[in-house]
């Protein structure tokens, strides 16, 4: 969880917002945020949800990438619809990674580069999340990561997928 919090904070930092992991933990555990961090914390929590559950960009690229774009949107700012990629472009972003999916990190990099080019570098946060989602999906296809689709309960669903299993002993 700590790594996910650090990744979310770093992603929000790409948009010029500064947030501490302490601020995110306060928001997660008590529902409060320091006033100056409120917008950054809200964005970080959206990013954290995508880090935790990125979707499957290979089987549902439009849904996965739209979810990424929604998480990467700055809180309180509307995005010009002209800047939004067309639905037909989103599978092409993921397709750019397929030839490199046997090396997951390169597949993720290719998808992020394709997204950056197509979006004219409009959202560094989205580029970072595209990399994470495609690299993770490629790792799963190669059998390099555990299948996390099972084992979710109602409480985890209510928490937006932010809860993580803890193994003790």
CA 62 to chain centre: 14
Per the model's pLDDT, the better-predicted residue between 112 and 17 turns out to be 112
Domain spans in the chain, listed from the N-terminal domain onward: 2-52
Task: Give the single-character DSSP code of 150.
Answer: S
Q: What is the mean pLDDT of residues 65-89?
A: 83
Instruction: For residue range 80-92, list pLDDT tens digits in order.
Output: 666 689 999 999 9
3-state secondary structure (DSSP) of residue 100: coil
Q: Which two tokens stand for residue 6?
A: 């650090």
Exposed, middle or buried: residue 120 (CB in 10 Å: 0-12, 13-18, 19+)? exposed
Q: How many CB atoms lie within 10 A of CB 47?
A: 29
At 3, the pLDDT band (50, 70, 90 cuts) reads confident
3-state secondary structure (DSSP) of residue 39: helix
Instruction: For residue range 103-125, list pLDDT tens digits in order.
Output: 999 999 999 999 999 998 888 99
| C-alpha to C-alpha distance for 111 and 36, rounded to whole angstroms | 34
| C-alpha to C-alpha distance for 147 and 143, rounded to whole angstroms | 9
Per the model's pLDDT, the better-predicted residue between 130 and 84 turns out to be 130
Give the pLDDT confidence score for residue 36 in this predicted structure.
Answer: 53
Per the model's pLDDT, the better-predicted residue between 165 and 59 turns out to be 59
pLDDT greater than 90 at residue 142: no
Give the pLDDT confidence score for residue 156 in this predicted structure.
Answer: 54
Per the model's pLDDT, the better-predicted residue between 68 and 23 turns out to be 68
For the entire predicted model, the pTM comes to: 0.75
């Amino acid at each position: 969880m700590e790594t996910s919090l650090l990744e979310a904070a770093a992603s929000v930092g790409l948009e010029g917002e500064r947030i501490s992991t302490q601020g995110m933990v306060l928001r997660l555990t008590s529902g409060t945020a320091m006033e100056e961090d409120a917008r950054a914390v809200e964005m970080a929590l959206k990013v954290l949800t995508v880090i935790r559950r990125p979707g499957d960009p290979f089987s549902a690229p439009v849904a996965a990438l739209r979810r990424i774009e929604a998480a990467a949107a700055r809180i309180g700012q509307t995005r010009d619809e002209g800047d939004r990629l067309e639905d037909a472009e989103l599978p092409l972003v993921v397709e750019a990674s397929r030839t490199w999916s046997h090396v997951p990190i390169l597949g993720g990099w290719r998808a992020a580069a394709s997204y950056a080019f197509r979006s004219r570098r409009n959202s560094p946060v989205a580029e970072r999340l595209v990399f994470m989602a495609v690299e993770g999906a490629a790792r799963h296809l190669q059998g390099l990561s555990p299948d996390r689709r099972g084992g979710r309960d109602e409480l985890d669903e209510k928490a937006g997928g932010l809860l993580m299993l803890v193994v003790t002993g």
